[in-house]
Structure 1
Amino acid sequence: MSLSDLKNELIYHKLEDRYLVLPATGATVGEAAKVLQVDPDAIAKSLVLNVNEQPTVLVLSGNARLDNHHFKEEFRVRPRLLPATEVQKATGYPVGGVNPIGLNNALPVYLDTSLKNLTWLYPAAGDEYHALKLTLTELITLSRPVRWVKVSK
């Protein structure tokens, strides 16, 4: 999906005002939180993992850390991040801009329980200079997750 496709998806859902252009890079949780002036937990980071040879997107809150034990309980495999060189091919977005909405190849998306109870979430929006401001309900509607998982510490 291109940035224009993402914007069209937002327009369709009447959320075009939630697309943010950042004045500086927001490629990492720390950078995004600083430029958006929000708590790092509000950053919805998307990790792309290889789960049984299937690229899979896992969305966690900014301060949450992937827990190997919890991940293995949920997916029956050890967590393996997809190499950075393969992320854009799998998702349509570069590292630092991966967004759980409108992914190439209809990749499965899982939301970690660390996102629950946050008023606003700020996922990347296609590159390190764009983000979205969404409620949890809006993120669920737009990302169409397979299910909730508990894979964080």
Structure 2
Amino acid sequence: MTPAIRLLESQGIAHQVTSYELENGSGSYGLDAARALALSAASVFKTLLAQLDDDRLVVALVPVDASLDLKALARAAGTRKARMAEIATAERTTGYLVGGISPLGQKKRLPTFIDEGAMSLETIHVSAGRRGLELSLTPNDLIALTAARVVDLARRGSLCE
């Protein structure tokens, strides 16, 4: 059981945990999860860590079929620039390995931003804290648990990240 699952259970939040086999994938853990679980890529969100120009770390959640607009994230966080956090920093800060970083149950609670597309979904799917393990819950529950701000962060067909 991961910290993310323990958090949901301790709070009595309705959720579902699904596991899947990791095979020779696309190199994108989120897209691989969507394919393995036969889910719409627009409903599976990846958890990304970014570092702002004032050195604060923030969490951003966007659909796995989109990229993160770092400029939009920086604006939402009240700074001018954001860049992706180093892998070692992301893993050390969250307590999870890249490809399995959950927005829930992280070692250090960070400001969290979620793409507004989540609000059109009945169920959102995020990592449960381990590669090959996915959580399903309502967007409102995820937002409440992470104190996330809902903003326009996702870009399709761009090279933002």
Stretches of structure 2 that go unaligned for 5 or more consecutive residues are 156-161
Q: 1:14 to 1:71 in 2, by over 3 A?
A: closer
TM superposition score normalised by structure 1: 0.85
Other-structure match for 2:109: 106
- Asked if structure 2 preserves the Cα contact closer than 8 Å seen for 1:7 and 1:16, the reply is no
Alignment of 1:53-132 (within 5 A): 53-75=55-77, 76-132=79-135
Other-structure match for 1:8: 6
Q: 1:86 to 1:79 in 2, by over 3 A?
A: same
Give the distance between the partners of 1:16 and 1:68, measured in 2 at CA.
32
Give the distance between the partners of 2:74 and 2:135, measured in 1 at CA.
30
Residue by residue over 1:96-138, the C-alpha shift from the partner in whole angstroms, topping out at 9 and shown as x without a partner, is 0111112222211111212220122110111212110111122
Give the distance between the partners of 2:57 and 2:70, measured in 1 at CA.
17
More displaced 10-residue stretch of structure 1: 91-100 or 107-116 = 107-116
Q: Is the helix fraction higher in 1 or 2?
A: 1
What RMSD, in angstroms, separates the aligned Cα atoms of the two structures? 2.2
Residue by residue over 1:2-59, the C-alpha shift from the partner in whole angstroms, topping out at 9 and shown as x without a partner, is 71x3332222233475122223368622101111101111111111000221121011
Secondary structure at 1:124 match in 2: strand
- Asked if structure 1 preserves the Cα contact closer than 8 Å seen for 2:76 and 2:151, the reply is yes
Stretches of structure 1 that go unaligned for 5 or more consecutive residues are none
TM superposition score normalised by structure 2: 0.81
Deviation at 1:150, TM superposition (A): 1.8
Secondary structure at 1:104 match in 2: coil
Q: 1:41 to 1:69 in 2, by over 3 A?
A: same
Give the distance between the partners of 1:7 and 1:29, measured in 2 at CA.
18
